[in-house]
Amino acid sequence: MLRSAEVVDTYQLFNPQAYLQNNYMPPRANFENEDCVVPWKLRCFASSFSTGEIHGQTLLDIGSGPTLYQVISACNFFNKIVMSDYLEVNREELRKWLRGDPGAFDWSPYIKYVCGLDGKRDQWEDMERRLRETIQDVCHCDIMQANPLHPKVLDPVDAISTTFCLESVCPDKKSLEKALANISSLLKPGGFLLMIGALNESYYLAGEVKLRVVPLDEDYVKEAVSRSGYRICTFKTYNMPPELNIGVDDVHAVFYLQAQKI
């Protein structure tokens, strides 16, 4: 299945720095406010990993964009993390951080926050080092392909994480369900899917470009994931407060989902 030409053309204008500024700097990334959306997302991931049930050799992050907050907690539970994205500008943004390049996005407040959840904030530099060591690959992916990592071939992985990907790049729900099946083919039976996504969103901005989003509701997300061969273990929602509606999207809420492949 091919992605639409419109989606391809629009995403060529995606600006990683603008996206990071809009979503991963204050006011949305306010670590002094526990009710803010970014700390909420970090707590969701940390809670899933804290049980010790999700672990293994490899975690694959699908549609990483220019972000890596979603795998901070994972680096304590996996030997290898693979990041992936369709756009080279996003992959290069991740590599800049991995290399420690000047001008790379500063993820240290995120790492400090995650460490602080375990009362180990003073050990954040150790976690930062471990995260850099554990992220061993940043590769191309296209979730519209039967093998989203083509031409790379991975053995089925122990866990997959994906954030704001499916609803952002699929032109409709039928395409979204096919893309979810493509992603799921990379996951071992019994493996875990960790997903964050937008609810009732129709667009977001990343610089000069306005990107279309397929609006989803909670019932549809649960049904689509269950039909794809998963048992949903956790489903949480965060309602976006008025003060975080800053004109860069029209998202109403964010969901977090943990599911196990049957």
Residue 227 has what pLDDT?
A: 97
**Residues 167, 213: contact at Cβ < 8 Å?**
yes
* pLDDT of residue 5 exceeding 90: no
Residue 69 has what pLDDT?
A: 98
Residue 98 has what pLDDT?
A: 98
Alpha helices in the chain (DSSP H): 5-11, 16-24, 37-50, 88-99, 108-117, 124-134, 166-169, 173-184, 218-227
* 46 token code pair: 């940390």
Instruction: Please state the rounded mean pLDDT for residues 198-209.
Output: 96
**Interval 9-33: pLDDT, tens:** 888 899 999 999 999 999 999 999 9
* pLDDT of residue 1 exceeding 60: no
Residue 232 has what pLDDT?
A: 98
* pLDDT of residue 230 exceeding 70: yes
DSSP codes of every residue in 146-207:
SSTTTT---PPEEEEEEES-HHHH-SSHHHHHHHHHHHHTTEEEEEEEEEEEEES--EEEET
Position 8 confidence tier, pLDDT thresholds 50, 70, 90: confident
* pLDDT of residue 141 exceeding 70: yes
Instruction: Please state the rounded mean pLDDT for residues 174-192.
Output: 98
Residue 221 has what pLDDT?
A: 98
213 SS3 class: coil
**Residues 38, 238: contact at Cβ < 8 Å?**
no
Residue 250 has what pLDDT?
A: 98
Dihedral angle sign, alpha carbons of residues 148, 154, 155, 160: negative
* pLDDT of residue 187 exceeding 70: yes
Position 2 confidence tier, pLDDT thresholds 50, 70, 90: very low
* pLDDT of residue 190 exceeding 80: yes
Q: Which residue has the higher pLDDT, 8 or 241?
A: 241
**Residues 84, 141: contact at Cβ < 8 Å?**
yes
Instruction: Please state the rounded mean pLDDT for residues 150-178.
Output: 96
To the nearest whole number, what is the mean pLDDT of the chain? Answer: 96
Compute how many other C-beta atoms are within 10 angstroms of the C-beta atom of residue 7. Answer: 18
99 SS3 class: helix
Residue indicated by tokens 């993390």: 81
* pLDDT of residue 3 exceeding 60: no
Instruction: Please state the rounded mean pLDDT for residues 151-159.
Output: 96
**Interval 58-95: pLDDT, tens:** 999 999 999 999 999 999 999 999 999 999 999 999 99
* 211 token code pair: 């990107």
Tell me which H or E stretch contains 259: strand 253-261
Instruction: Please state the rounded mean pLDDT for residues 113-124.
Output: 96
Compute how many other C-beta atoms are within 10 angstroms of the C-beta atom of residue 249. Answer: 21
**Residues 91, 71: contact at Cβ < 8 Å?**
no
Burial environment of residue 63 by CB neighbours within 10 A (0 to 12, 13 to 18, 19 or more): buried
